[in-house]
């Protein structure tokens, strides 16, 4: 098992955000976490990457990583693409990618990773000298994903990659996510509000509601589930 | 600006400073004194720019670090003789850096306005400690300090400060400062430890502020704790803001202008500070992004 979460609790001050959730992500899989606004999806990712203090247990490849500082978790091979993209606006595309390789010392590894990222996202190659704050939303998302890949993660967490992006680009980005998973064997935990899209690319899904997991199943089964259909898939 | 051939640039600047210093006896001593003030203020502004500009941590305690360096260095040369001057500059810098570490570790957990208030408090604490320390002359401070700061020392060290800080920010390691400034969460997600970068910026900034204080002590020959109150800190902050946060070239020019301006306005006597303040307000309204930030500076400006 790549990642195993047992009875995770997170609160912000007096307000509980996660109430004892448990989930598992198998090696090489794409697993999705769907749910409405405020359900605790982002909080789950923040807890895994050490950005939010948590109670419970997070096991990564069998090792306990609960509440380690974020830079140690990145070093262990978990990369987090935070919600809202958050590229370093005052750095160029190239400099952003270099920062992604912050913990990577081997220059040749950096170069091959760069080439791989440019092959996945040719748009980034065209704009490598541009200040990243001037990129479009979709391009910034590509850059954020590319930057996370520069760290050579084994486990990639994506927080709402479709947020605020033109529908046409959303489709491209999701295709790329699948490509990264297939060709590089990177395990992906995908957080999405767009449940339709997420369940299409993922093999397994968890449904989060007010800090609790209320449903989990194979993606196909979830898509057929009348409750999920009614609440998250536009009632089709 | 100084990314290419930067070492040659540094050597040229040092040689120039030395040459000017060599002929300094022929200059009007009043103007020479102001020129040394300018050099010291460049060091202060560029070092504060690392903290406030590049790393984005609003500090109001720079005068405190300057005081630590100044009093340490002055006491050293007063006790053990003038030959210790170069050594006293470094010791002053190191003591200020230690103060920066001491202040930085607890206070950098705060952000934005809160950090500004905490650093303001620390700056004041440092000043009050000197004010009540008999060893450092209490409220009267230290007098009879040897005049050892020449044009060469002030401008030579200013050049070194620019060289070190611009070089640092442009290095792969130093990009981390900009990342912490742009987005702390994203920086953490890259494996950067933001707190470490913030403390590093604080320590390096305080180090150069301490050296500036040591230069200042051996320039003015008199040190009073009152001279390092928070208004002094704000003067330096104004240089950074006016020059454009995180733009070394702009900050240098702003430090020059804001040191010369009160002197130029001296003939207006008591209206001087009013005119000075009005000019700053006007400049800020006209160019809130900083005086020297425009597109051609964009790529270099981060230096």
Closest partner CB to A91 (pick from B175, B189, B191): B175
Contact A75 B191 (CB under 8 A): yes
DSSP B33-96: HHHHHHHHHHHHHHHHIIIIIIS------HHHHHHHHHHHHHHHHHHH-GGGHHHHHHHHHHHH
Residues of B in contact with A100 (CB under 8 A): 190
Determine the Cα–Cα distance for residues A201 and A183; give it in Å rounded to an integer.
Answer: 15
Contact B189 A74 (CB under 8 A): yes
Helix B194-220 / helix B85-107 crossing angle, nearest 10 deg: 140
Give me the interface pTM, i.e. the ipTM: 0.71
| Each residue's pLDDT tens digit, B129-151 | 999 988 988 888 888 888 888 88
Smallest Cα–Cα separation from B215: which of B161, B264, B274?
B161
* Domain of A196, in residue numbers: 3-232
Helices H, strands E: what count in chain B? 13, 0
Q: Indicate the pLDDT class of residue B29, thresholds 50, 70 and 90.
A: confident
Contact A81 B182 (CB under 8 A): no
B54 in contact with chain A, both atoms CB, cutoff 8 A: no
Helices H, strands E: what count in chain A? 10, 10
Give chain B's length: 303
Q: Indicate the pLDDT class of residue A203, thresholds 50, 70 and 90.
A: very high
Residues of B in contact with A71 (CB under 8 A): 188, 191-193
- Counted domains in chain A: 1
Return the CATH number at A30: 3.40.50.300
Q: What is the 3-state secondary structure (H, E, C) of A132-177?
A: HHHCCHHHHHHHHHHHHHHCCCCEEEEECCCCCCCHHHHHHHHHHH
Determine the Cα–Cα distance for residues B56 and A139; give it in Å rounded to an integer.
Answer: 26
Smallest Cα–Cα separation from B136: which of B197, B210, B78, B91?
B78
Contact A91 B176 (CB under 8 A): no
Q: What percent of chain A has pLDDT over 90?
A: 46
Give the three-state DSSP class for A188: strand
> Structure tokens of B153?
């020392």
Quote the pTM value.
Answer: 0.80
| Each residue's pLDDT tens digit, B101-120 | 998 888 778 888 888 889 99
Backbone angles phi, psi at A42, to 5 degrees: -65, -35
| Each residue's pLDDT tens digit, B166-194 | 989 888 888 889 888 888 888 888 888 88
- Measured between its terminal Cα atoms, the distance across chain A in Å is 34
């Amino acid at each position: 098992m790549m990642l195993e979460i047992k009875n995770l609790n997170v609160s912000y001050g007096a307000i509980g955000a996660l109430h004892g959730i448990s989930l598992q992500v198998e090696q090489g899989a794409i697993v999705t976490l769907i749910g409405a606004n405020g359900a605790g999806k982002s909080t789950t990712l923040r807890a895994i990457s050490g950005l939010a203090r948590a109670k419970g247990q997070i096991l990564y490849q069998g090792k306990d990583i609960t509440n380690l500082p974020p830079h140690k978790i990145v070093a262990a091979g978990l990369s987090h693409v935070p919600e809202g993209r958050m590229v370093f606006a005052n750095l160029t595309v190239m400099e952003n990618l270099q920062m992604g390789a912050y913990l990577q010392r081997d220059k040749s590894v950096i170069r091959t990773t760069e080439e791989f990222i440019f092959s996945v996202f040719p748009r980034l190659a065209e704009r490598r000298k541009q200040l990243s704050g001037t990129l479009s939303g979709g391009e910034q998302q590509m850059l954020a994903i590319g930057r996370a890949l520069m760290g050579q993660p084994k486990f990639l967490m994506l927080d709402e990659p479709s947020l605020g992006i033109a529908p046409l680009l959303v489709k491209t980005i999701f295709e790329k996510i699948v490509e990264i998973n297939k060709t590089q064997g990177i395990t992906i935990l995908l957080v999405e509000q767009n449940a339709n899209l997420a369940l299409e690319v993922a093999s397994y899904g968890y449904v989060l509601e007010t800090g609790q997991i209320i449903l989990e199943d194979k993606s196909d089964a979830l898509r057929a589930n009348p409750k999920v259909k009614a609440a998250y898939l536009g009632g089709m | 600006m100084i990314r290419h051939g930067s070492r040659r640039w540094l050597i040229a600047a040092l040689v120039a400073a030395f040459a000017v210093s060599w002929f300094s006896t022929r200059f009007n001593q009043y103007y020479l004194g102001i020129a040394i003030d300018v050099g010291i203020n460049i060091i202060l502004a560029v070092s504060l720019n690392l903290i406030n500009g590049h790393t984005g941590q609003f500090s109001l305690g720079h005068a405190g670090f300057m005081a630590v360096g100044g009093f340490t260095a002055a006491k050293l040369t007063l006790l053990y003789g003038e030959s210790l001057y170069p050594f006293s500059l470094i010791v002053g810098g190191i003591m200020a850096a230690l103060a920066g570490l001491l202040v930085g570790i607890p206070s950098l957990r705060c952000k934005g306005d809160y950090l500004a208030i905490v650093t303001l408090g620390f700056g004041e604490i440092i000043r009050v400690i000197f004010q009540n320390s008999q060893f450092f002359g209490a409220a009267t401070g230290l007098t009879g300090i040897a005049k050892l700061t020449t044009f060469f020392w002030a401008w030579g060290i200013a050049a070194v400060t620019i060289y070190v800080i611009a070089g640092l920010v442009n290095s792969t390691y130093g990009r981390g400062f900009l990342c912490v400034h742009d987005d702390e969460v994203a920086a953490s997600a890259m494996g950067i430890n933001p707190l470490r970068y913030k403390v590093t910026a604080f320590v390096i900034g305080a180090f150069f502020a301490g050296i500036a204080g040591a230069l200042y002590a051996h320039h003015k020959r008199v040190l009073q704790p009152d001279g390092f109150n928070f208004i002094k800190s704000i003067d330096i902050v104004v240089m950074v803001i006016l020059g454009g946060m995180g733009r070394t070239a702009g900050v240098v020019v702003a430090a020059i202008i804001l040191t010369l301006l009160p002197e130029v306005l001296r003939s207006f006597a008591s209206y001087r500070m009013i005119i000075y303040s009005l000019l700053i307000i006007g400049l800020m309204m006209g160019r809130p992004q900083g005086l020297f930030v425009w597109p051609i500076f964009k790529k270099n400006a981060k230096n």
